[in-house]
């Protein structure tokens, strides 16, 4: 099964290869306006995938204010071919997929960019909802310490991911096949959790942010086969 992973489009409408499963991990539009969402949904409809999954992000106020997790019919009036997940799941080709849009609130956050944000204790209650038998996890936030580093002045990295998400993955989601997220543009890339040289690669963790830290479209969609 060919999977395309993207996040943090912020208005981009990239050319995508055809595939089976498209996972979008939030921050879909440039300014969260109705016109922007119209362009996004028109672009999404043109993508050739058998299943398309959207999860919200902190820039997606429209999704938080106007939508529920009951399905795409709550988002547009058209006959949509995508699924919107908000602390909810769906099964596709035998894989159980769960989507969660939450990320950490922080002091000084832009008030226009705080959809689905909260304290670590708030996020802990949301991430505790993730079923233990989840195969594919799509979140907007990265887990703490995994592709979540922001360079600071002393040359080190500030890790902006969620500790409660990391704890849930480490302690409850032992059979996870794939984790896709975004939010921290600087963390773009792929790594393998729990690498074992004798057994092979572990669960792929993918930060699929298309924008870099300067909101420039430097990054490419990440494709993986399951």
- Homologous superfamily (CATH) of 2-225 is Metallo-dependent phosphatases (3.60.21.10)
| Residue 64: pLDDT over 70 | yes
Q: What is the mean pLDDT of the chain?
A: 91
Question: How far apart, in whole angstroms, are the C-alpha atoms of residue 92 and residue 131?
Answer: 16
Tell me what the mean pLDDT of segment 38-57 comes to. Answer: 96
Q: Which residue has the higher pLDDT, 102 or 79?
A: 102
Distance of CA 97 to the CA centre of its chain: 12
Q: Which of 139, 144, 141, 180 is nearest to 159 (CA)?
A: 144
In which band, very low, low, confident or very high, does the pLDDT at 164 lie, cut at 50, 70 and 90? very high
For the chain, domain boundaries = 2-225
Structure tokens at 124: 């802990």
Q: Which residue has the higher pLDDT, 100 or 73?
A: 100
Is pTM, for the whole model, over 0.75?
yes
pLDDT computed for residue 31 by the predictor: 94
| Residue range 167-213, pLDDT digits in tens | 999 999 988 999 999 999 999 999 987 655 454 556 899 999 999 99
Percent of the chain having pLDDT more than 70? 90
Percent of the chain having pLDDT more than 90? 81
Structure tokens at 208: 């699929």
Tell me what the mean pLDDT of segment 39-55 comes to. Answer: 96
| Residue 18: pLDDT over 60 | yes
Tell me what the mean pLDDT of segment 100-110 comes to. Answer: 91
Note whether 143 and 162 are within 8 A (CB): yes
pLDDT computed for residue 109 by the predictor: 87
In which band, very low, low, confident or very high, does the pLDDT at 70 lie, cut at 50, 70 and 90? low
Q: Among 76-80, 92-96, 102-106, 165-169, where is mean pLDDT lowest?
A: 76-80
Note whether 149 and 109 are within 8 A (CB): no
| Residue 71: pLDDT over 60 | no
Tell me what the mean pLDDT of segment 106-118 comes to. Answer: 90
* Residue with tokens 């705080």, as numbered in its chain: 114
Note whether 36 and 44 are within 8 A (CB): no
pLDDT computed for residue 73 by the predictor: 47
Q: Among 55-69, 81-95, 140-154, 188-202, where is mean pLDDT lowest?
A: 188-202
């Amino acid at each position: 099964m060919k999977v395309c992973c993207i996040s943090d489009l912020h208005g981009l409408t990239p050319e995508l290869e055809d595939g089976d499963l498209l996972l979008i991990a939030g921050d879909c539009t440039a300014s969260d306006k109705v016109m922007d969402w119209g362009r996004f949904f028109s672009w999404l409809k043109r993508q050739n995938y058998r299943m398309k999954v959207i999860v919200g992000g902190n820039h997606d106020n429209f999704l938080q204010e106007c939508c529920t997790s009951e399905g795409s019919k709550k988002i547009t009036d058209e006959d949509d071919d995508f699924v919107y997940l908000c602390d909810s799941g769906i099964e596709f080709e035998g894989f159980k997929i769960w989507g969660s849009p939450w990320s950490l609130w922080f002091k000084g956050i832009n008030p226009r960019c705080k959809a689905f944000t909260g304290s670590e204790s708030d996020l802990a209650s949301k991430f505790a909802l993730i079923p233990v038998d989840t195969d594919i996890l799509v979140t907007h936030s990265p887990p703490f310490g995994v592709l979540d580093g922001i360079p600071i002045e002393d040359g080190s990295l500030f890790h902006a991911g969620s500790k409660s998400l990391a704890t849930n993955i480490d302690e409850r989601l032992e059979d996870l096949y794939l984790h896709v997220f975004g939010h921290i543009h600087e963390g773009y890339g792929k790594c393998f959790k729990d690498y074992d040289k004798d057994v092979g690669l572990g669960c792929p963790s993918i930060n699929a942010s298309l924008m870099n830290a300067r909101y420039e479209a430097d990054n490419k969609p990440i494709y993986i086969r399951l």
